[in-house]
Structures are given as structure tokens and as C-alpha cells.
Structure 1
Amino acid sequence: MKLATILSGLASLALASFANASERTATIYIQAVTASPVTPVPLAELQFDTLAPSEAQILTYEAPDLPDGTKLVRVGVYDPAAKQWTSSTSVTSVDNFDKGYSPTLILSVEQSGVPISAAIRGVRIDAGQTRDFGPQAMVLVTAAGKQPDLNKPVVLSPEGKQVIPEEKSMLQKYWWVIAIIVMMSVLSGGGDEKK
């Protein structure tokens, strides 16, 4: 009885550690696109699971404080220690943060959970339709693309043109049928006829 309890405890511990192993967090940064360089600042921190990307959550969100006259912002995953972007970035309009719009943070990740890119899309909200005006999170997990099914290689002539095989004649295609008919007629022999 104790062995069964120990085994079930170990199994539940293994399942819990497996479930937490796929949970990741990523911090999305925002940078105003201006003539003079501006340091990127954190915009949001997302928690996601590559096995259940539709359940992504925004842990923290800080509305951007942008310099006056800013029209465009850059969004991505940034490493402040190395002072470089660790994912590809996207450029979007500051109109995505206006009143009447709910920003949707889109994070593309590899199967292992490593961020590939980040983007923001402002979604117009209708007060009569929804009560959720806050920012939303969307995580897209990449998958291997379909590989082409390859057939026989193309045969080229010495001039570099495709060699088209000649069409076979009826005799070349069905010689074996003719051979069977001849063999049957020769081997079948005539029947004994009694008069």
C-alpha cells in the first residue's frame, strides 16, 4: 500500500514539473521611433504555455509614455543587459493605443518557447458588445511546414532540354497479352471429334 502511495506521489510530481516546464514568460518592449535614439522600455510581460497558446495571459502592462510628436513605435523582445533586440521587431502606429482601441499583443514563439517576434494590433472596442477593454495576448507557436513530395528527377538532354520519352506502340505495350493468346491456342490442342 505504501509503495502505491509513493509511486502515485512521484507520478503527480512528474506531471506537475512537466506542466510547469512548458510555461514561459516574455517581456515585450516598446521604443519610440524618433530622430534621436530612445531606450526601449518594458510594455508588457506575457505568460504563455507552448502546449496551450490560447491561454496566454498578460502579467503586467504599462501604458507607454511616449515623447510628444511620436507617430511610430517599435515593438519586440529586448535584452537590456546586452542592449540589443533578441527577437525581430515590428513597427506600428501610436494610434493602436488611442481611446476606443484595445491593444492586442502578438508574440510568435518557437516550439521550445523562444520568442521569434512581437507585434501590436489595436482592436476597436464596442462598449455594447464587450466588457473586456484591457490589453489582450495572443501567442502563435510555429510549426514545421509541409515538405514537398518529390517524384522522379527531371531528365535533361545534353542541350539542357527536357527529354520526353517516346510513346510506345500498341504492340510494345501489349505484347504479353498476344503471347498469352498464342500460347493458349497452341497448347489447348483440338478436341477429339467422333463422327
Structure 2
Amino acid sequence: MRLPTLTSLLSLSLSALLSSASASSTLSTEIYYWPLSSSSSDPSSLAKISYDPSTLHATVDSYTPPTDTNTDTDNSNDLLRIGLYKEDSSQFVSTLTSLSLFSNNLRHHQQQNTLLLHLDQNNKVYHATLIPSTSSDTTRAATNGNKNSGKNGENTGLKVEFVRSSPSPNPHLNRPVVLNADGNAPEEVVEKTFFQKYWWALALIGVLAFTGSAEN
């Protein structure tokens, strides 16, 4: 086997290995929506998102917003539930939003709604909310390193941002006890009160006040 052929095979193998590693690190989630006024209707798919938890780069694989947005904003029919299905509890977890967000999105094509996805300790999505985009949202997304695009790089009309959960503080258990030279545990130093620290100053002030009043 010639050397160039061997080099080509090694390059192809390395490329395939890197591609499989990149694909295995990509996670995905699907967000649903269903009207609040209809308890019997099945949830409809709003968006399918693929994302890399290490870079927070998201790809909008599909985005299907509600088309029936002609509702009265003073009516409860304007409310919409948006959420995801949790397999561990076999139930939908949702938040409320308004259909007017989608109607504004249709009227102003340059405006993009923002899908805010909250990640748990395992980088899995556990909460989703939809908010209208502003210029400050765009600046915040660039600052946090959140990047997203359509499946083929096109504008999907939806932005994706991520929020990582902060780890809760853990108690320090079974901490070793440091002993002094005598083999005993050091005594805990109790902080003195204000009177214990400055009793002498208070006594001096009292003596001066008493002396001054006696001279008068």
C-alpha cells in the first residue's frame, strides 16, 4: 500500500471519528403548544431544537407557529400553553403565553420571538418560555455566547437562548478536626460584644463626665 493511500485512509477515519463525536454530543428537544381554552385538544409541535451543550449553539430543525392568531386580547382564548413533555413523569410541563406574540411576529417579519430554554445539571431542557425579542435580548444573547440558526442557515423567525441552572450549595460533612499540640480540639473563639471591647472607653467617658459635673 502506498503512503498517500494510507494517509488518505487515516484522514477519512479521523474525520468520521470527529463527526461521530460531534453528533453524539448534540442534544435535542421538542417544544409543544396548545390553547388554554381547549383541554381536549392534543398538543401541537411548535419547534424542534438541536443544541450543543458545550457551545450553546442551537439549530432550529423545525418551527411551526400557530396560524390562527385572530383572537380577542381581552378573551381567555388568547392564552396559549407552551411547554415540553417530560418522559420521567409522563406529563407536560408548560407556561402561559399570548397568541398576540405570534400575530406580531407575522405582521413584522423582522421581529423574532425568543424561546428561552432552561437546562438542568445534565444539560437537559426542563423548562421553556416564549418572550418577545428586543434589542437588549440580542445583545444579551451575544454576550452569553448563545448562537442559533435554521437547519440550513435560513432565518426561521425564532431565536433560542439558554439558561443554565446554578448548582445548589452542598454541606461540608465529615470535615477533619484539626487538633492542637496537646491533642485537644481548639476552643471556639467567641466574638466579643461591643461593651466587652470598649468598656474601658465607656468607663473613661463616665469618669470625665462625673468629674466635670463635680467641678461645676
TM-score range, shorter chain: 0.5 to 0.7
- Give the counterpart letter for 1:135 in structure 2: L
Match of 2:97? 92
Deviation of the 1:75 alpha carbon:
0.9
CA contact (8 A) 1:105 1:135 kept: yes
CA distance in 1: counterparts of 2:67 and 2:59, whole angstroms: 22
Match of 2:16? 13
CA distance in 2: counterparts of 1:142 and 1:38, whole angstroms: 32
- Aligned 1:120-131 pairs, distance under 5 A: 120-124=130-134
More helix by share: 2
Deviation of the 1:32 alpha carbon:
0.9
- TM-score w.r.t. the length of structure 1 is 0.57
- Give the counterpart letter for 2:119 in structure 1: V
The 1:92–1:166 alpha-carbon spacing in structure 2 relative to 1, beyond 3 Å, is closer
> Any stretches of 5+ residues in structure 1 without a counterpart?
126-131, 154-162, 168-195
CA distance in 2: counterparts of 1:51 and 1:165, whole angstroms: 46
Deviation of the 1:18 alpha carbon:
1.2
- Aligned 1:172-187 pairs, distance under 5 A: none
- Give the counterpart letter for 1:57 in structure 2: T
Structure 1 segments of 4+ aligned residues over 4 angstroms from their partners: 1-9, 66-69, 145-153, 163-167
Deviation of the 1:79 alpha carbon:
7.2
- Give the counterpart letter for 2:59 in structure 1: Q
Deviation of the 1:102 alpha carbon:
2.6
- Give the counterpart letter for 1:122 in structure 2: P
Q: What SS does the aligned partner of 2:112 have?
A: strand
CA contact (8 A) 2:63 2:156 kept: no
- Aligned 1:13-162 pairs, distance under 5 A: 13-34=16-37, 36-53=39-56, 55-66=57-68, 68=71, 69=75, 70-78=77-85, 84-85=91-92, 88-99=93-104, 100=108, 101-110=111-120, 112-124=122-134, 134-142=157-165, 144-145=167-168, 147=170
Query: Alpha-carbon deviations, 1:67-117, whole Å to 9, x = none?
Result: 84522111111379x9732xx321122232232453111222335443211
> Any stretches of 5+ residues in structure 2 without a counterpart?
136-154, 178-186, 192-216
The 1:11–1:147 alpha-carbon spacing in structure 2 relative to 1, beyond 3 Å, is farther
The 1:152–1:124 alpha-carbon spacing in structure 2 relative to 1, beyond 3 Å, is same
- Give the counterpart letter for 1:114 in structure 2: K
CA contact (8 A) 1:107 1:118 kept: yes
- Give the counterpart letter for 2:28 in structure 1: T
Identity %: 23
Q: How many residues are aligned here?
A: 148
Q: What SS does the aligned partner of 1:56 have?
A: strand
Q: What SS does the aligned partner of 1:13 have?
A: helix
CA distance in 1: counterparts of 2:15 and 2:167, whole angstroms: 31
| 13-22 vs 135-144, which moves further | 135-144
- Give me the CA root mean square deviation: 3.8
CA contact (8 A) 1:50 1:111 kept: no
